[in-house]
C-alpha cells in the first residue's frame, strides 16, 4: 500500500463521516420541523391566530323603555363612536393629540383615555362616543394620519321624553372604575355603557343585552388589516325592552302643572298593585346630556346646582311628613283601642296645648274647639293629636310606628331609594341626646309628623295605599310584572275593616266637606280622600304636602305630593291642587266613572281662605 | 467514458451541480416573491426582481469562472487573498450597514467583502494544505493556515459580524479535516474557543478543562504543545466575561435569546417566537404559497433573508420543508462527492470547504428558524435574498464544477 493509497483511503473515510454528518443533521432538522408542525401544529395554529386576531366588542343595543301605554321613554339609535386600536403608548398619545382639535379633546381628557388604555392595552379604547357627522367626516378625510383609529356605529341612547321622566329612566354612561371592580359588573369591560340611575340602573341586567365579539386581523404593528370571519365571533344580543307602569301622559301633565319655579315631587301608585303611575321630581335634568359622556362643565352645572336637579324627590329625599302623619297616629290609636273614631279628648283645642312649662301650638290660633277623631283629621287639629300621642305613650308609639315599617325602604325598583327615619326606641334618644338630654315631650312633635321623623313621599304613598285598600301593603314598582304586583310588605296595618272605613271617611271629609283642609281643591267628579300636611323645616317656609287616594270607595290611585316651601303663612297649600288635578286627569284617562254628582261650577278657589286651608302645628 | 464525454462537452464538470444550483435559486426567487406578498407596503415586494437580476449576473460569473483552470487559480490565490484582506480593511473605514460596517458600495451596487474573503480564505487554505502528501500532525505546524484564517476572522469580528466570523472557523476546521490532520490536533486547536464559550459558567468550564488536560495526557502530546493548549484554555476561560462585555448589545441579546426566547418576547426573542409560530402554524400542508398569515401581517421579521425558511414552513408546511431539505442535502452530497473523487489536492480541498461552508449556513440558518441555533443572521444558500451572497455562491458552484471537470 503506497502513501497515496493510504491518503485516499483516509480521505474516503472522512468523506463518509462528512456524509453521515450531513444526513444526520438533515434528519435532526426534519425531526425538529416534524415536532413543530405536526406535534405542535395545533398550539402554534392557535398562537398564530391569537397573534393576529384581535377581538373587538360589538356593543349590544340596549332595550327600549316604554310607559304603560307603549309610549317611548328611552330608545337606542345608531351613533358614531371613535376608538383607538391597541398601540404603544407613544403612538396612542400622538394620535390623540392629532385628534384633539377635531373632537375637542382636552389635555385632561387625553390623559384619562391613556389611563383607561393602559388598563387593557390589548383592547381598543373608546375615545368619544357621540361624534357628530361632521366630526366623522373630518377624521375620515385625514385617514392616513389616523391609522390607529376606528369609527364605528354604536347604539346610542336617546330619551325622547327628556327631563320629565329623567328620575324614572335615569341615564347611561361609561362604566366607572369603581363599578368595574365590583362583583356586579364582573363580565363588563372598560368602556362599556351601563345604566347609572333610575330604571336604566336597576334593570341594567335586562336592558344591557350581551355584547358580541368580532375578530379583526391585525398586523405586527396592531393596525387592522381586515375583518376576520371566525366561528368564535358572536353577534350582539340586543337587550330586552321594558314596559313600565308609568303613565307618560300623566307625568307630562304633572310637569305642565307643577307650580312654576317650585321645588318638589309627586308620586302616584295604583294601590291595588303597587304600580307606580307617576314619579315626578322638579327640577329635573336632561338625561340625553349624559349619553356619550357628559362634559365636565355640564356635569358641574347639574351636580352643583343649588336646587339639586339630580335628587329624586319622590324616593330619595326625606321630608318631615307633617300632618299627613296624623293618620299613622290614628291607626295606632284605633287598633290599640286608645280612641274610637268619635272619641273626644279631655282638652278641647284653644289654639295650643300646655305641656310642662311650654305651650304646644295648633295651626289655628283661635282653636278648633271640641273635636272627635274624625273631626280632628278633617280639620287637622294638632291639640287633639298631641293628646292622642300622650295617651298612646312614648314606647307604644315608637314600637307601633316601627312595626308599620317606617324605618324601612319600600324596596321600589329604583336605585338610591332611602329608608324612612323614625326613632325605633328610647335608646335612640339616649344615644343622641344623652339620658337626661331629652324629655317625654318629644311625643308631642312625633304625633304631628315633626321632630325626629322623616319619610319619603313614596313611603307615605305606600302607607296610604294600605289604608285605601285594607290589603297588605303593596311594593311600589316601575316595571310591569305580574310578579311584582303580587309582592307584599311584611308589615300590615293590623286595623279592623270598620276602623279603616272610619279613617277613610274622615279622609273623605278632609277634601269633600266644607271646613276640611283640602276642601277648596276637591275634584268635581271623583271623591278624593286624603290628608294635607304642612311641614316645618329649617330651610324656610313650610313645605306643602298632600297624600290621598281616589275614588275613596274603590281607590284606583294613591298620590303623594310635596312642594318645598309651598305653604307660606297665610297662603294656600300648593300641593293640594296639584294632587287633585293629577288624580282627576288620571281617573278621566282611565275611564273611571265619576262617583260624585257633578256640582254646579264652584267658585274658582280663592287664595285668601287661610283660615280654611290646612296649616299645622 | 460516456460520462467523461458529457463533461467535456459541457465544460461544466458535473452538470447536475449547475442544474441543482439553478433549481434551488429559482425556488428561492419563488420564496422571495412570496415573502413580498404582505399586507403592508414593503420594500420586500420587489425583492424577487432584484434577486432575479442578480441570478443573471451570477450565471455570467459562473460561465467565466468555470473556464478558469485550477492551476491559474492556485497561482492567483495569494493575490486574491491580499485583495480580500484589503477590502476587509477598507470596509472598516468606509463601510456601512445596519448595526455593522459590513457593506461596501460603488454606485448603486453594494457588496459584502466578507463574502470575497471567505472565498479567498478557502483558496488560500486549499493551496497551503491540499498539495501535501503527508498531513501535518503537530499543532505548531499549523500556524500558517491558522494565521490565514485568523486575519480575516478578526477583521470580520471587528465589523462586527459574528455569523460570518463563525464561517471562517468552519473553513479552517473543514480544510484541516480534509487535509487529514489528526482529529485530536483539531481538537487541541479549537479547545480554547470552546473554553471561551464555556467560560461563563465556572463549573462547566472546569469539567471541560479536565477533559482537555486528560486528553492531552492520554494522547501523550508533546509537552510544549500540551502546556500551550492548557494555558490557552485557561486564558480563554478567564477572558470570556471581559470579551462578552465587548460584544455589541444586539449580539449579546441574540445569544441570550437563543438560550431563552421568552426573555425578551418583544425585542430579540420576537424573531424566534414569530418564526416558530409561523412554522408551527404551517402544519403538514402549509397555509398555501403566498398566503401565510404571519408573514402577510408582518409578524415574521427578515422574511426574505434570514427567515426565508420560516415562510417555507408556514406556507408549504412540512411537505415543502422536506422537499427543500432533501434538495439541499442532495446538492451538498453532490459537492461532497466531487471533493471525494477529485485527485487534485487543491481542487478537492476547495470543493470540500464549499461543502462545509454551505452546510454550516444551512444548519445555522434553518436551525435558527426552529430555535436549534442562535439567531446569527446567516443567509440560506441559494434561497435567501441577497445579491452578493448569491453571486459568491455561484462562483463557488463554478469552482466546484471546475474541480469536477479536472478530476
Contact between A47 and B277 using a beta-carbon 8 Å cutoff: yes
Mean pLDDT computed over A169-181? 86
Mean pLDDT computed over A595-607? 57
- Residues of chain B with pLDDT > 90: what percent? 41
Q: Which helix (H) or strand (E) holds A126?
A: strand A125-131
CA angle B250, B254, B259 (to 5 degrees): 150
CA distance A393 to A389: 6
Mean pLDDT computed over A404-416? 89
The ipTM estimated for the assembled molecules is 0.91
**Of A609 and A168, more confident:** A168
- B399 CA to centre of own chain: 17
Q: Which helix (H) or strand (E) holds B54?
A: helix B47-65
Which DSSP string corresponds to A421-436?
B---SHHHHHHHH-TT
> Mind listing the pLDDT tens digit for each residue in A436-489?
888 888 888 888 988 888 999 999 999 999 999 988 889 999 999 888 888 888
Mean pLDDT computed over A490-506? 90
The chain-wide mean pLDDT, for chain A, equals 85
How much is the pLDDT for A230? Answer: 66
Does pLDDT of A608 surpass 50?
no
Instruction: Tell me which chain A residue has its CA closest to the CA of residue B282.
Output: A37
Q: Long-range pairs for A95-99 at CB < 8 Å and ≥24 separation?
A: A95/A146, A95/A148, A95/A149, A96/A127, A98/A145, A98/A146, A99/A127, A99/A139, A99/A146, A99/A149
Which positions of A are annotated as active-site residues? 323
Mean pLDDT computed over B244-264? 67
How much is the pLDDT for A607? Answer: 47
Instruction: Tell me which chain A residue has its CA closest to the CA of residue B292.
Output: A48
| Closest CB to B277 among A26, A48, A221 | A48
Can you give the residue ranges of every domain in chain A?
Answer: 54-243, 249-302+309-589
**Is cis: bond before A265, omega within 30 of 0?**
no
Q: Of A213, A495, A483, A232, whose CA–CA distance to A341 is shortest?
A: A495
CB-based contact, A48 to chain B, within 8 Å = yes
Instruction: Please answer whether residues A613 and A572 qualify as being in contact, where contact means their C-beta atoms are separated by less than 8 angstroms.
Output: yes
CA distance A266 to A561: 4
Instruction: Please answer whether residues A504 and A490 qualify as being in contact, where contact means their C-beta atoms are separated by less than 8 angstroms.
Output: no
Instruction: Please answer whether residues B33 and B289 qualify as being in contact, where contact means their C-beta atoms are separated by less than 8 angstroms.
Output: no
How much is the pLDDT for A103? Answer: 84
Query: What CATH number does the domain located at A249-302+309-589 have?
Result: 3.40.710.10
Instruction: Please answer whether residues B31 and B383 qualify as being in contact, where contact means their C-beta atoms are separated by less than 8 angstroms.
Output: yes
Chain B neighbors of A41, CB-CB under 8 A: 280-284
| Closest CB to B318 among A12, A23, A37 | A37
CA distance A324 to A440: 22
CA distance A544 to A563: 5
CA angle B216, B191, B212 (to 5 degrees): 30
> Mind listing the pLDDT tens digit for each residue in B307-348?
899 999 999 999 999 999 999 999 999 999 999 988 888 999
- For residue B72, the enclosing domain spans 2-406
Q: Which helix (H) or strand (E) holds B178?
A: helix B162-178
**Grid coordinates of B302:** 427578515
> Mind listing the pLDDT tens digit for each residue in A115-174?
888 776 666 788 887 788 888 888 888 877 787 787 877 788 899 998 999 999 999 988
CA distance B114 to A129: 59
CB-based contact, A147 to chain B, within 8 Å = no
Mean pLDDT computed over B367-375? 85
Q: Of A437, A595, A441, whose CA–CA distance to A522 is shortest?
A: A595
Beta bridge partners of A152: A81
Q: Of B15, B17, B93, B22, whose CA–CA distance to B52 is shortest?
A: B22
Chain B neighbors of A23, CB-CB under 8 A: 329
β-strands A65-66, A242-243 pairing: parallel
Q: Which helix (H) or strand (E) holds A225?
A: strand A224-228
Q: How far is CA A345 from CA A352, A457, A480, A510, in A?
A: 14, 30, 46, 20
Contact between B283 and A37 using a beta-carbon 8 Å cutoff: yes
CA distance A217 to chain B (A): 8
Residue B342, C-beta contacts closer than 8 angstroms, at least 6 positions apart: B348, B351, B403, B404, B406, B407
| Closest CB to B340 among A12, A30, A219 | A12
Q: How many domains does chain B have?
A: 1
| Closest CB to A225 among B297, B352, B359 | B297
Q: Of A464, A476, A518, whose CA–CA distance to A331 is shortest?
A: A464
Q: How far is CA A329 from CA A336, A464, B296, in A?
A: 11, 13, 82
> Mind listing the pLDDT tens digit for each residue in A219-257?
666 666 667 766 667 788 888 999 999 999 999 999 999
**Grid coordinates of B270:** 420576537
Contact between A219 and B363 using a beta-carbon 8 Å cutoff: no
Neighbours of A253 (CB within 10 A): 20
Which DSSP string corresponds to B97-160?
-SSS--BEEETTEEE-HHHHHHHHHHHHHHHHHTT-SS---SGGGGHHHHHHHHHHHHHHHTTT
**Grid coordinates of A370:** 271640641
> How many CB pairs lie under 8 A apart between chains A and B?
124
Beta bridge partners of A381: none
Residue with cell 467535456: B8
Contact between B336 and A19 using a beta-carbon 8 Å cutoff: yes
Q: How far is CA B25 from CA A523, B62, B118, B386, B390, in A?
A: 101, 13, 20, 11, 8
How much is the pLDDT for B11? Answer: 55
CA angle A233, A239, A241 (to 5 degrees): 155
Instruction: Please answer whether residues B21 and B331 qualify as being in contact, where contact means their C-beta atoms are separated by less than 8 angstroms.
Output: yes
CA distance A2 to chain B (A): 11
State the alpha helices, DSSP H only, in B303-370.
308-341, 345-369
Chain A neighbors of B294, CB-CB under 8 A: 48, 51-52
Measured in degrees and rounded to the nearest 5, phi and psi for residue A244 equal -95, 165
CA distance B364 to chain A (A): 11
Q: Counting every residue, how long is chain B?
A: 407
How much is the pLDDT for B254? Answer: 65
How much is the pLDDT for A111? Answer: 87
How much is the pLDDT for A222? Answer: 61
Burial classification of residue A337, based on how many CB atoms lie within 10 Å of its CB (0-12 exposed, 13-18 middle, 19 or more buried): exposed
| Highest mean pLDDT: which range of A347-351, A603-607, B167-171 | B167-171
Does pLDDT of B190 surpass 80?
yes
> Mind listing the pLDDT tens digit for each residue in B74-109?
999 999 999 999 999 988 888 766 556 677 777 666
Contact between B178 and A225 using a beta-carbon 8 Å cutoff: no
CB-based contact, A390 to chain B, within 8 Å = no
pTM: 0.61
Lowest mean pLDDT: which of A269-273, A386-390, A491-495, B231-235? A491-495
How much is the pLDDT for A1? Answer: 43
CA distance B356 to chain A (A): 9
CA distance B240 to chain A (A): 29
How much is the pLDDT for B2? Answer: 45
Instruction: Tell me which chain A residue has its CA closest to the CA of residue B312.
Output: A33
Q: How far is CA B113 from CA A3, A178, A382, B104, B158, in A?
A: 40, 64, 112, 7, 13
CA distance B35 to B47: 9
Instruction: Tell me which chain B residue has its CA closest to the CA of residue A23.
Output: B329
How much is the pLDDT for A604? Answer: 52
Interface test with B, best of A23, A24, A50, A51 (most B CBs within 10 A): A51
- Residues of chain A with pLDDT > 90: what percent? 34
CA distance A131 to B53: 53
Contact between B363 and A51 using a beta-carbon 8 Å cutoff: no
Characterise A224 by phi-psi region: left (phi > 0), alpha (psi -120 to 50), beta (else). Answer: beta
How much is the pLDDT for A615? Answer: 41
**Is cis: bond before A283, omega within 30 of 0?**
yes
CB-based contact, A399 to chain B, within 8 Å = no
**Grid coordinates of B360:** 454550516
CA distance B12 to B15: 6
Chain B neighbors of A38, CB-CB under 8 A: 283-284, 318
Lowest mean pLDDT: which of A499-508, B54-63, B83-92, B125-134? B125-134
CA distance A227 to chain B (A): 13
Contact between B281 and A52 using a beta-carbon 8 Å cutoff: no
| In CATH, A54-243 is 3.40.1190.20 | no
**Is cis: bond before B160, omega within 30 of 0?**
yes
Does pLDDT of A609 surpass 60?
no
CA distance A548 to A586: 14
Chain A neighbors of B265, CB-CB under 8 A: none
Chain B neighbors of A226, CB-CB under 8 A: 39
| Closest CB to A51 among B178, B277, B363 | B277
Q: Counting every residue, how long is chain A?
A: 617
Contact between B363 and A11 using a beta-carbon 8 Å cutoff: no
CA angle A212, A218, A220 (to 5 degrees): 145
Instruction: Please answer whether residues A258 and A250 qualify as being in contact, where contact means their C-beta atoms are separated by less than 8 angstroms.
Output: no
Helix, strand, coil distribution of chain B in percent, nearest 5: 75, 0, 25
Contact between B294 and A218 using a beta-carbon 8 Å cutoff: no
CA distance B30 to B356: 26
Amino acid at each position: 500500500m503506497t502513501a497515496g493509497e493510504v491518503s485516499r483511503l483516509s480521505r474516503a473515510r472522512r468523506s463518509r463521516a462528512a456524509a453521515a454528518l450531513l444526513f444526520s443533521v438533515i434528519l435532526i432538522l426534519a425531526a425538529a420541523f416534524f415536532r413543530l408542525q405536526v406535534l405542535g401544529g395545533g398550539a402554534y395554529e392557535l398562537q398564530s391566530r391569537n397573534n393576529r386576531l384581535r377581538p373587538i366588542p360589538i356593543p349590544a343595543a340596549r332595550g327600549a323603555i316604554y310607559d304603560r301605554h307603549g309610549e317611548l321613554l328611552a330608545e337606542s339609535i345608531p351613533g358614531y363612536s371613535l376608538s383607538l386600536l391597541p398601540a404603544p403608548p407613544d403612538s396612542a398619545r400622538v394620535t390623540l393629540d392629532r385628534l384633539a382639535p377635531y373632537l375637542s379633546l382636552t389635555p385632561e381628557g387625553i390623559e384619562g383615555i391613556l389611563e383607561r388604555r393602559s388598563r387593557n392595552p390589548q383592547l381598543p379604547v373608546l375615545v368619544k362616543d357621540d361624534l357628530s357627522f361632521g366630526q366623522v367626516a373630518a377624521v375620515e378625510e385625514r385617514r392616513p394620519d389616523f391609522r390607529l383609529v376606528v369609527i364605528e356605529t354604536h347604539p346610542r341612547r336617546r330619551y325622547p321624553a327628556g327631563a320629565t321622566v329623567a328620575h324614572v329612566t335615569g341615564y347611561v354612561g361609561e362604566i366607572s372604575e369603581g363599578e368595574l371592580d365590583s362583583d356586579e359588573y364582573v363580565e363588563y369591560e372598560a368602556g362599556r355603557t351601563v345604566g347609572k340611575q333610575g330604571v336604566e340602573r336597576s334593570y341594567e341586567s335586562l336592558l344591557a343585552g350581551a355584547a358580541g365579539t368580532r375578530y379583526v386581523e391585525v398586523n405586527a404593528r396592531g393596525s387592522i388589516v381586515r375583518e376576520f370571519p371566525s366561528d368564535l365571533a358572536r353577534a350582539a344580543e340586543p337587550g330586552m325592552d321594558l314596559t313600565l307602569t308609568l303613565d307618560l301622559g300623566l307625568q307630562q301633565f304633572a310637569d305642565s302643572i307643577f307650580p312654576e319655579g317650585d321645588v318638589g315631587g309627586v308620586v302616584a301608585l295604583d294601590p291595588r298593585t303597587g304600580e307606580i303611575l307617576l314619579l315626578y321630581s322638579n327640577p329635573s335634568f336632561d338625561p340625553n346630556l349624559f349619553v356619550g359622556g357628559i362634559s365636565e362643565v355640564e356635569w358641574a352645572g347639574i351636580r352643583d346646582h343649588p336646587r339639586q336637579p339630580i335628587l329624586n324627590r319622590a324616593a330619595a329625599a326625606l321630608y318631615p311628613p307633617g300632618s299627613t302623619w296624623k293618620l299613622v297616629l290614628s291607626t295606632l290609636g284605633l287598633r290599640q283601642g286608645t280612641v274610637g273614631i268619635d272619641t273626644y279628648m279631655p282638652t278641647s283645642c284653644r289654639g295650643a296645648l300646655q305641656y310642662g312649662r311650654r305651650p304646644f301650638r295648633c295651626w289655628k290660633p283661635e282653636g278648633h274647639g271640641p273635636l272627635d277623631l274624625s273631626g280632628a283629621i278633617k280639620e287637622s287639629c294638632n291639640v287633639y293629636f298631641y293628646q292622642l300621642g300622650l295617651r298612646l305613650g312614648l314606647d307604644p308609639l315608637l314600637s307601633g310606628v316601627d312595626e308599620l315599617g317606617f324605618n324601612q325602604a319600600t324596596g321600589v325598583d329604583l336605585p338610591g331609594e332611602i329608608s324612612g327615619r323614625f326613632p325605633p326606641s328610647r335608646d335612640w334618644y339616649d344615644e343622641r341626646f344623652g339620658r337626661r338630654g331629652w324629655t317625654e315631650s318629644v311625643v308631642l312633635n312625633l304625633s304631628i309628623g315633626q321632630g325626629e321623623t322623616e319619610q319619603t313621599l313614596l313611603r307615605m304613598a305606600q302607607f296610604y295605599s294600605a289604608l285605601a285598600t285594607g290589603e297588605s301593603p303593596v311594593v311600589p314598582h316601575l316595571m310591569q310584572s305580574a310578579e311584582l304586583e303580587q309582592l307584599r310588605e311584611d308589615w300590615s296595618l293590623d286595623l279592623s275593616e270598620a276602623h279603616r272605613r272610619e279613617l277613610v271617611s274622615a279622609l273623605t271629609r278632609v277634601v269633600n266637606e266644607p271646613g276640611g283642609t283640602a276642601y277648596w281643591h276637591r275634584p268635581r267628579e271623583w271623591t278624593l280622600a286624603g290628608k294635607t300636611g304642612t311641614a316645618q323645616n329649617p330651610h324656610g317656609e313650610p313645605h306643602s304636602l298632600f297624600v290621598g287616594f281616589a275614588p275613596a270607595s274603590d281607590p284606583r290611585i294613591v298620590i303623594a305630593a310635596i312642594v318645598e316651601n309651598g305653604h307660606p303663612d297665610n297662603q294656600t297649600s300648593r300641593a293640594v291642587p296639584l294632587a287633585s288635578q293629577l288624580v282627576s286627569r288620571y281617573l278621566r284617562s282611565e275611564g273611571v266613572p265619576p262617583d260624585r254628582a257633578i256640582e254646579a261650577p264652584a267658585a274658582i278657589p280663592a287664595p285668601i281662605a287661610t283660615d280654611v286651608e290646612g296649616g299645622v302645628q | 467514458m460516456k460520462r467523461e464525454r458529457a463533461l467535456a462537452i459541457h465544460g461544466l464538470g458535473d452538470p447536475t451541480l449547475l442544474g441543482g444550483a439553478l433549481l434551488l435559486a429559482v425556488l428561492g426567487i419563488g420564496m422571495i416573491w412570496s415573502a413580498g406578498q404582505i399586507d403592508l407596503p414593503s420594500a420586500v415586494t420587489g425583492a424577487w426582481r432584484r434577486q432575479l437580476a442578480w441570478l443573471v449576473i451570477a450565471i455570467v460569473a459562473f460561465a467565466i469562472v468555470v473556464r478558469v483552470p485550477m492551476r491559474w487559480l492556485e497561482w492567483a490565490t495569494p493575490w486574491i487573498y491580499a485583495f480580500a484582506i484589503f477590502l476587509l480593511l477598507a470596509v472598516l473605514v468606509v463601510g456601512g450597514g445596519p448595526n455593522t460596517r459590513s457593506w461596501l458600495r460603488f454606485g448603486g451596487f453594494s457588496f459584502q467583502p466578507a463574502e470575497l474573503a471567505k472565498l479567498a480564505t478557502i483558496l488560500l487554505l486549499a493551496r497551503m494544505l491540499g498539495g501535501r502528501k503527508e498531513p501535518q500532525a503537530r499543532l505548531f505546524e499549523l500556524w500558517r493556515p491558522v494565521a490565514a484564517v485568523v486575519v480575516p476572522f478578526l477583521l470580520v469580528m471587528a465589523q462586527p459580524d459574528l455569523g460570518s466570523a463563525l464561517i471562517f472557523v468552519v473553513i479552517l476546521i473543514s480544510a484541516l479535516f480534509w487535509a487529514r490532520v489528526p482529529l485530536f490536533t483539531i481538537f487541541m486547536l479549537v479547545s480554547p474557543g470552546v473554553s471561551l464559550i464555556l467560560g461563563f459558567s465556572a463549573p462547566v468550564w472546569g469539567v471541560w478543562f479536565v477533559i482537555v488536560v486528560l486528553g492531552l495526557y492520554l494522547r501523550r502530546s508533546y509537552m510544549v504543545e500540551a502546556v500551550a493548549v492548557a494555558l490557552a484554555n485557561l486564558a480563554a476561560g478567564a477572558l470570556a466575561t471581559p470579551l462578552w462585555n465587548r460584544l455589541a448589545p444586539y449580539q449579546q441579546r441574540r445569544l441570550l435569546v437563543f438560550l431563552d426566547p421568552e426573555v425578551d418576547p418583544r425585542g430579540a426573542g420576537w424573531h424566534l417566537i414569530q418564526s416558530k409560530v409561523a412554522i408551527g402554524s404551517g402544519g403538514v400542508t402549509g397555509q398555501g404559497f403566498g398566503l401565510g398569515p404571519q408573514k402577510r401581517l408582518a409578524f415574521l421579521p427578515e422574511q426574505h433573508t434570514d427567515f426565508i425558511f420560516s415562510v417555507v414552513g408556514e406556507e408549504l408546511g412540512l411537505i415543502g420543508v422536506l422537499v427543500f431539505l432533501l434538495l439541499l442535502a442532495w446538492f451538498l452530497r453532490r459537492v461532497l462527492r466531487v471533493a471525494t473523487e477529485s485527485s487534485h489536492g487543491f481542487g478537492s480541498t476547495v470543493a470540500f470547504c464549499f461543502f462545509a461552508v454551505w452546510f454550516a449556513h444551512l444548519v445555522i440558518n434553518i436551525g435558527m428558524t426552529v430555535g436549534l441555533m442562535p439567531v446569527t443572521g446567516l443567509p440560506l444558500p441559494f434561497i435567501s435574498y441577497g445579491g452578493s451572497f448569491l453571486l459568491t455562491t455561484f462562483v463557488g458552484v463554478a469552482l466546484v464544477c471546475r474541480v469536477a471537470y479536472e478530476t
